[in-house]
Chain A
């Protein structure tokens, strides 16, 4: 089995993360922040008692270029000029050679503001209690409209409504955000950092400094977890660090403390969903009418894309003739919500899969039977009219899940035990799907490129902007390259994502790194091979030693050469941006997750005791890494469902300590059985579909469905804390 490429450095403590870097003459940096969630900046007061000459101080007027982070809408400023739109918004930056002085300095800084009333809830935003964005607070809206939904209601035997909501979630990568920058007018800007998307940061810093592209260089440092939290956010931090470097002429390091990072970085969008379904008495879902709303926070960020993915997944893996999804992302005075593994789908799928179980209860049908009557199969159309042309067998997935968790035997036992024990056990299931790659035309716009370079020492260098953040990208790319060329792992060198050298392969997000970029790596390597064959250096069938000899010979004669793989949209995969219809993704992972829970009726605590994750993923490139992704995602989603609650006070996170924001420990995780099916191998290298986000979508609804099974109580909100379960059980029992 292929070992993790950079694994030896990681287990020995030699892997270098951004805070492990130092440069000579380096300054340490810190951010001056707004003490209110909404207001007008009046002044920053630097009081007597500190020698401010020793500090580098940056405010908005020091910005050489444009004061906005280049994203979809350019509305998020690097530094406040006048308007404050969220708590902790950066109003200034300071740096000093002695790290100790930063704490001292903050004791002598006062930020004077005129406070304005803020809004924090979706309802407040929709009600336009305050106007934060244009004339209706709506960042973006989408409408999916399939069939003739309004004709269906009169024909339905059942019309069933439900409302569901999810809260924010903090990424809690164990390594906080951090950057080191050097900058000057002559040489430009170089930033090293903990980040997922070097070219996003590059694209943000170019207009910030008004520099030509080649004068901005972004280099990824070993990254201690991302999960989307280092997708869009790093641009802000990189800009801050670089601005201080620009002004001071010295290297600058800015590392967020944990409490600072938790309070002042992006989180998962909170959501609210309303479902109204029409069914025939046989259990056919005739229509799904869905309202899906995301709380976007203070700035636009990637909310429209999160909304898009959430809306497209909202109807679930079901073949429904009439679907309406009315989706909106709205503005509030929260720290802007951003990317987080799953990216809208965990939110919308939570509602769909909870509603499915609820509907089954109302019509008196087994929830699995109800699903089986409505699943997508080959030839079905999705809510956006995409015809699924691959094998989709949910019956098989469900059967695997049930067998693996030992459902039949356990269910009988639990039915007995639940009557006498204070521990009530139950099972719940979620069926779902997750599109791999960017939504719609996203991959076409990205036009990603990967390169393979043949070098004089007979090595193949892989150049791509995809980052390693634990998911195993280095190992996968090494494997794909070695396999494509018939070489050994140590013949392949994965080059550091450094915008000076690597092409833009797109961001490391959206479950696309193996499937999309991996394919480009493979293509690029095959290009090297084909070049050598075409030029007669090797034959079609060759041994490794021959290949390396040929490579060295070619390079010594012609110099190092590169081949590229560039993204090609697969044929028959068309998306219409205007009509919002068509093939939203080239392919989907299909999954059924099943949870066994134990609800303690004395303490109202829910424990996930056993868990099975079954998914069809095309081809498993590396079983250990793939399982690691699923297991890690399941545990993160268990946190989302049962442990992780962001507590806000006027838009400010007040439980911003690891002590008070609870992620699962080793003592909190169930056994997780991971089962992969490999049916459809049309896309991706070897047929591999993206899987990074898939495991985030299923666990929360499966767990809440299991709680309903265990104690007959329907909870429609996550996170479900014991305090909430207690209140719900009390009101249900009429105590």
Chain B
């Protein structure tokens, strides 16, 4: 334990409103949910000394709610709960696949989707799936709630559209309308090993085709940029086009403009880019 424990304080407020009030009193109060990220920093001596506000008991932040057009996954939902939910499995298979590969079971039992988003690791497993589903983040604050498209939420490495006093309240996923045509979804995490791994490259993709023509496409990546991203310019050159080997080749070239992988302790930029291209190729060729 590298942190000096007596200099850390944990508190909780009884109610959700009191929690939001407390958070708005100053930047030094950090919300604490499942702890699977913060406690690792704590042990390593990398967590700044201060006050932590336990939010894990707040029922306003808990549960998965089925609405007619949306699935509402509240922030404290753990990845185990996400993995085990029948609607997630049926209608949001990318998120189901992601939930299965988050850490391992003991982590999934504690790791929350809200914490995963707020921790903003570029290597997070859930976010690429959320990007493919055009997730909307509902943000709560003492004064006002608001909603942000998840693809606009991250601005830079660990810089996000979340102000002091604000708390991620829920993730909203739009449930698909019925569609005549072919829908394909693909999730692949290349980790350092097959379980309990941080990703080197994470790829989530969703495409809707009608007679070989791309009606809608989402390509999302983890560990390939300072935050989870969609390969938007690559999506644009595929949008509305008929898939062909030539088009796939163009897409792969374009992909390299959308992504900015780095060398780090786990992998190299060159490897990451090559694998990202290979996975895209595999996905698109599977749609031919």
Contact = CB atoms under 8 A, between A and B. Distances in A.
Interface of A: 99-100, 103-104, 106-107, 257, 259, 422, 601-605, 643, 647, 654-655, 657, 659-660, 662, 664-668, 722-723, 726-727, 730
A666 B265 CA distance: 23
B275 A655 contact: no
B268 A603 contact: no
Contact of A666 (B43, B195, B279): B195
A657 B197 CA distance: 12
Contacts of A104: 4
A107 B4 CA distance: 9
Nearest to A666: B195
B253 interface: no
Contact-residue size bin, chain B (C-beta under 8 Å from the other chain): 20 to 34
A389 B282 CA distance: 57
B193 A259 contact: no
B68 interface: no
A673 B4 CA distance: 49
A259 B2 CA distance: 10
Which one of A604, A662, A664, A723 has the greatest number of beta carbons of chain B within 10 Å?
Answer: A723
B5 A604 contact: no
A668 B193 contact: yes
A444 B5 CA distance: 53
B266 interface: yes
B152 to A, nearest CB: 30
Nearest to B281: A602
Which one of B3, B196, B198, B279 has the greatest number of beta carbons of chain A within 10 Å?
Answer: B196
A727 to B, nearest CB: 8
B271 A668 contact: no
Nearest to B45: A103
A181 B215 CA distance: 71
A100 B198 contact: no
B34 to A, nearest CB: 17
Given A603-B278, A726-B271, A103 B195 contact: no
Nearest to A607: B194
Interface string B183-210: 0000000101111111011000000000
A723 B190 contact: no
A660 B266 contact: yes
B265 A647 contact: yes
A196 B282 CA distance: 51
Interface string B246-272: 000000000000000000011110110
13 contacts: A100-B5, A103-B1, A104-B4, A107-B4, A422-B282, A603-B279, A643-B193, A659-B198, A660-B192, A665-B195, A667-B193, A668-B195, A723-B267
Nearest to B274: A726
Contacts of A647: 265
A103 B3 contact: yes
B6 interface: yes
Contact of B193 (A257, A604, A654, A665): A665
B265 A723 contact: no
Complex A-B, nearest 7 residue pairs according to Cβ-Cβ distance, in ascending order: A667-B194, A667-B195, A602-B278, A723-B271, A665-B195, A104-B4, A662-B192
A654 B264 CA distance: 11
B271 A604 contact: yes
Contact of A100 (B6, B192, B193, B271): B6
A722 B279 contact: no
A257 B1 contact: yes
B265 A654 contact: yes
Given A259-B44, A422-B282, A665-B196, 19 more contacts: A100-B6, A103-B45, A106-B2, A257-B1, A602-B275, A602-B279, A602-B281, A603-B190, A603-B201, A603-B278, A643-B192, A643-B193, A662-B193, A665-B104, A722-B200, A722-B271, A723-B268, A727-B270, A727-B271
Interface of B: 1-6, 40, 43-45, 104, 190, 192-198, 200-201, 265-268, 270-271, 274-275, 278-279, 281-282
Nearest to A735: B274
Contacts of A659: 40, 198
Contacts of B197: 662
B40 to A, nearest CB: 8
B2 A604 contact: no
B190 to A, nearest CB: 5
B173 to A, nearest CB: 28
Contact of A602 (B193, B270, B282): B282
B122 to A, nearest CB: 15
A603 B277 CA distance: 10
Contacts of B45: 103
A54 B5 CA distance: 18
B6 to A, nearest CB: 6
A667 B274 CA distance: 25
Nearest to A729: B274
Contacts of A602: 275, 278-279, 281-282
Contacts of B104: 665
A691 to B, nearest CB: 27
B2 A103 contact: yes
Nearest to A100: B5
B274 A660 contact: no
A667 B196 CA distance: 9
Nearest to A260: B2
Nearest to A106: B2
A315 B279 CA distance: 43
Nearest to A101: B4
B36 to A, nearest CB: 12
A139 to B, nearest CB: 31
Contacts of A726: 270-271, 274-275
B253 to A, nearest CB: 14
